[in-house]
Structure 1
Amino acid sequence: MSSLIKVKIASHPSYPRLVEAYIDCQKVGAPPQTARFLDEIRRENDLFKHDAVSTYWGADPELDEFMETYCDLLVKYKSDLERPFDEATTFLNKIEMQFRNLCTAATIRSVSGQSPSLSLFPGKDSLILC
């Protein structure tokens, strides 16, 4: 990529939005330390955009369209990346709730004098839950 194109992209009014969308994609599924680091980069970008001299919309219609399209694609990509994480989190939360309910039921049975176990098959050995 030529230096001139890089300069045009970096000085475009949509560049801060592009960086923000890119960082948002990188944060999906990232460890907390990495997410904090990416947030620092975003803050630096926010400071940069206040000091930057940018071009104006319409100066390069082809670049305007590219920047707008690329930003929109990154936003959609982030959404697509988040979907499996959200589904997995929902699934694990449901499993955790069911496990807690089973443990609570086993504890209540134990307090009432019943065996704190769950029979998987009638007449067979029990599986101790809690």
Structure 2
Amino acid sequence: MEANRSEDAGDGDDVELLKTRISTHPLYGRLVENHLNCLKVGGIGNGGRSSMGNQRQAENYNSISSNNMNKNPCSSSMQLNQSELDLFMEGYCSALSKLKEAIEEPQLETIAFINAMHSQLRDLARANPFSPDVFLQEAETNDSK
């Protein structure tokens, strides 16, 4: 039972080591920035915060990363070599960039559709003498007389 506890503590240390290695990786700031960009595009996670709040959060992550840059602990039970971590970080950053693009595409199509509909409705309103815009213009003209 006691051996099991020490094994659990060792696993916890390994997890903390992995978290430290990830947070001190040179691509960590880019990863956080890409993650926040996905949240911004999706309109998720703002929770009333401005983009300045998100920017401060990214800067905090970057400062944590740079503060921990000099630490480079090693563990015998859980060694993730640097090239594997580099590949993971690059792949994750790439996946987040692709996710952002996938989220943006339907939004851009929707915006283009709405703008086209607005333009068509404006053209129809101009062509129709009984459109509300014409009534407003006539009311302003009559008020000035």
TM-score by length of 2: 0.63
Per-residue displacement from partner, 1:32-56 (whole Å, max 9, x unpaired)? 7445232331233344455452689
C-alpha RMSD of the superposition = 2.5
Bigger drift between 1-10 and 77-86 goes to 1-10
Structure number with higher strand proportion: 1
Structure number with higher helix proportion: 2
Asked whether the equivalents of residues 23 and 64 of structure 2 are also in contact (C-alpha less than 8 Å), the reply is no
Of the three residues 11, 24, 36, the one matched with 1:11 is 24
Residue 72 (structure 1) aligns with: 94
Residue 29 (structure 1) aligns with: 42
Which 5+ residue runs of structure 1 have no aligned equivalent?
110-115, 117-128
Alignment map for 1:78-93 (pairs within 5 Å): 78-93=100-115
State the distance in 1 between where 2:100 and 2:70 align.
Answer: 26
- Larger relative contact order, structure 1 or 2 (CA cutoff 8 Å, min sep 6): 2
What amino acid does structure 2 have at the position aligned with 1:7?
A: T
Q: Percent identity?
A: 31
- Confirm whether residue 38 of structure 1 aligns to residue 54 of structure 2: yes
Task: Tell me the matched-pair count.
Answer: 108
State the distance in 2 between where 1:55 and 1:76 align.
Answer: 31
- Confirm whether residue 100 of structure 1 aligns to residue 122 of structure 2: yes
TM-score by length of 1: 0.70
CA gap 1:52/1:101 in 2 versus in 1, 3 angstroms: farther
Which 5+ residue runs of structure 2 have no aligned equivalent?
1-11, 73-80, 133-145
CA gap 1:98/1:4 in 2 versus in 1, 3 angstroms: same
